[in-house]
Structure 1
Amino acid sequence: MKLQAFQGTLPESWTKFVLPEAKALVPALAHDCLAVGAADGERPLGLVIVRRAAGDETAHVVSLVVAEEVRRSGIGRHLLAGLGNLLAANGIRFLAVEYMAGDNDPGDVGSFLQSAGFAPPILGVAVWNGPLNIFSDLPWIRRMPLPSRLSVEPWSALTPEQHAAVRSGEGDWYPAILSPLIDTEGVDRERSLLLRDGQRVVGWMIVEPFDERTLTFTSMFVHETYRRKGRGIALMAEAFRRFLTDERYTEGIFCVEGDNADMRAFMHKHLSHPSIQENGMWRTFKSL
């Protein structure tokens, strides 16, 4: 078995060894991509592709595929070892992987990566996805109203003064990772919601289009003072009630940071439904 590196162009005979989500990267490999293939003579057996931003000491695996008939024979580990040697010789210090598995278990992929020298995977993001109409089957959504002194409005109603107040509160009364201002370009400003007590913003639910029928729920936060009174759950219920009458979007993806144990527990308890799939995006790395 021999290893071969590819830059610039991936030969047609190797393109079947690319994950669907990475197909856009081939056959013309971007300048920041490197592929390494394993072959038995002229017969391709497996391929790994990585990307690395200019100046970054970490390369990220975006695809690893081994021919089904030769899996569990060490080819995947051989590919990663050869790739690691090549990257290290070019000044790369770390090799990182993100992959999907169950939200409570890193699965067989995690076991394989650890056998190849990677650190134990950690849960980066827990993901729930399914049809929005399941909200009508969840009784808590109907019985969780907000008190009248709190108002819920579209994110587009955020005033410049409130925007400045939210910006200044980052790292103070809410963690930076839950900021509604991280990526405002993709935000659906009419379907995303802000929670106000008078003119003071005390929470939000941010959504972005994933495709023409699917919304991604990217961030939800309610100030601790109000969260202790159950206002976070009530805000979520209000958002879900609105989506029951939304004629455009029919599917939803709900993302929770892996280290947000309380929110993950809530989602497990309150968003459990036969039509909802529960997965996790796991992360691991290897020093080269």
Structure 2
Amino acid sequence: MSYNYNVYRNLSTQEVIQKFEPYTFPSFRQKSKVRNLKEPFFVVEATYNGEKVGLAVLELLHNQPHSLMKILSLWVKEEHRRRGIASQILRVAEKIALNNQINYLNIIFQNNWESFKWMPTLLQKLAWNKPEKRTILVKLAYKQVCDLPWFQIKDFPANFYVTKWVELTETELNYIKRKKVSENWYPDELSPFQLPDLLVAEGSFVLRYNEKIVGWIIIHKIGEQQVQVTSYFVDKDYRGTKASIALIVQAVEKIVKQNLSKEFIFMVSADNKEMLSLSKKIAGEHNTGAFTEVWVGQKWLQGQI
């Protein structure tokens, strides 16, 4: 079979949704609702006899010191899979990256997607780095946990307390940003500055110890009755305290009392062993459906590092 590959440049969010949404996986529309995506976008399309059979949506981020292309969506029609379409789309994406002075490529995929079976092999064939497990998504229902012993930890230990995220001063916000730059304080994916327009002020708090900021929980509304704990972070020196649990309990109870949601999605860094252990206690050790692994594949472009 002979496939044609087309590139569409400088597309807005609405143009991608209107022209290509049915051919995106994961859904570009949904991603645009829960992330601050940067326009314009590139789309690489594969066609066969005029029919769309493969598609990728690309986001170009010219950050310093390294610029990045994110493969936001990669889809191949089922009956045309295993014919090299995904490989060729990624090769075209790499050429676009080189032409736009991009340092490296990035793609994210989950272990509950069918593509998880073949994505590592595909990336290896194209000389990408070995994918890394970066984040765990934990689904939590209030009714499953409200009577558990850990959820009764509502009082903060001495010298710990919380304040609302929205009440932070500009000086305090800059403190968090500077500490990230100087110490790489928290993982990029747990940044508390994501999606400000979706912030749930009633459930987003800063954890303090003797007035010092030592953590936070940031919650976003991603559906009519669903919220996402986009950033839950506690400084490593304070993770062993009951304050880290009380922070979760307070946020969850505030959300439920406001009738905003009774289901939560937590994002936990895969190398945060303390939080992963806590998550298993929270959701249930054997409740495998509650845990989703998020993997990241990357490729540095030679000569541009």
TM-score, normalised via structure 2 length: 0.71
Cα gap change, 1:202 to 1:77, in 2 (>3 Å): closer
Cα gap change, 1:220 to 1:181, in 2 (>3 Å): closer
Q: 1:22 and 2:37 equivalent?
A: no
Q: Return the structure number with greater helix share.
A: 2
Q: What residue in structure 2 maps to residue 270 of structure 1? A: 282
Amino acid at match of 1:170: K
Over the matched positions of the two proteins, sequence identity in percent amounts to: 22
Q: What residue in structure 2 maps to residue 182 of structure 1? A: 193
For the aligned residue pairs, the C-alpha RMSD in angstroms reads: 4.1
Q: 1:215 and 2:227 equivalent?
A: yes
C-alpha deviation, 1:257, in angstroms? 2.0
Where does 1:101-250 land on structure 2 (aligned, <5 Å)?
A: 101=111, 107-142=117-152, 145-147=155-157, 150-155=160-165, 160=169, 163=172, 167=176, 170=179, 175-177=185-187, 182-183=193-194, 185-186=196-197, 187-196=199-208, 199=211, 201-222=213-234, 226-250=238-262
Q: Deviations over 1:141-198 (max 9, x none)?
A: 125643466444544566x599479649835899254888635934433322344556
Amino acid at match of 1:262: E
Mapped to 2, the partners of 1:113 and 1:174 lie a distance apart of: 28
Cα gap change, 1:268 to 1:110, in 2 (>3 Å): farther
C-alpha deviation, 1:269, in angstroms? 3.4
Q: What residue in structure 1 maps to residue 59 of structure 2? A: 51
Larger deviation, residues 3-12 vs 140-149 = 3-12
Mapped to 1, the partners of 2:57 and 2:247 lie a distance apart of: 42
Q: What residue in structure 2 maps to residue 35 of structure 1? A: 43
Number of equivalenced pairs: 281
C-alpha deviation, 1:7, in angstroms? 1.8
Cα gap change, 1:74 to 1:207, in 2 (>3 Å): same
TM-score, normalised via structure 1 length: 0.74
8 A contact 2:140–2:283 mirrored in 1: no
8 A contact 2:43–2:56 mirrored in 1: yes
C-alpha deviation, 1:62, in angstroms? 1.8
Q: Deviations over 1:62-119 (max 9, x none)?
A: 222112112122222132224334543554443221222259xx64323332233321
Larger deviation, residues 53-62 vs 246-255 = 53-62
8 A contact 1:37–1:46 mirrored in 2: yes
SS at match of 2:138: strand
Q: 1:96 and 2:106 equivalent?
A: yes
Cα gap change, 1:141 to 1:5, in 2 (>3 Å): same
Q: Deviations over 1:3-56 (max 9, x none)?
A: 32232579999764323622589xxxx973222333344344322232213587
Amino acid at match of 2:297: T
Cα gap change, 1:267 to 1:85, in 2 (>3 Å): same
Mapped to 1, the partners of 2:174 and 2:160 lie a distance apart of: 18
Q: Deviations over 1:223-276 (max 9, x none)?
A: 556544433223333444444544222221111123323322321233227496
Cα gap change, 1:285 to 1:81, in 2 (>3 Å): same
Amino acid at match of 1:205: I
Q: What residue in structure 1 maps to residue 3 of structure 2? A: 2
Amino acid at match of 1:46: G
Q: What residue in structure 2 maps to residue 283 of structure 1? A: 296
Cα gap change, 1:141 to 1:275, in 2 (>3 Å): farther
Cα gap change, 1:7 to 1:152, in 2 (>3 Å): closer
Mapped to 2, the partners of 1:270 and 1:24 lie a distance apart of: 27
Amino acid at match of 2:93: L
8 A contact 1:94–1:286 mirrored in 2: yes
Which 5+ residue runs of structure 1 have no aligned equivalent?
none
Mapped to 2, the partners of 1:141 and 1:42 lie a distance apart of: 56
Larger deviation, residues 221-230 vs 9-18 = 9-18
Mapped to 2, the partners of 1:184 and 1:37 lie a distance apart of: 29
Q: Deviations over 1:183-217 (max 9, x none)?
A: 59344333223445565555433323223422222
Which 5+ residue runs of structure 2 have no aligned equivalent?
32-37
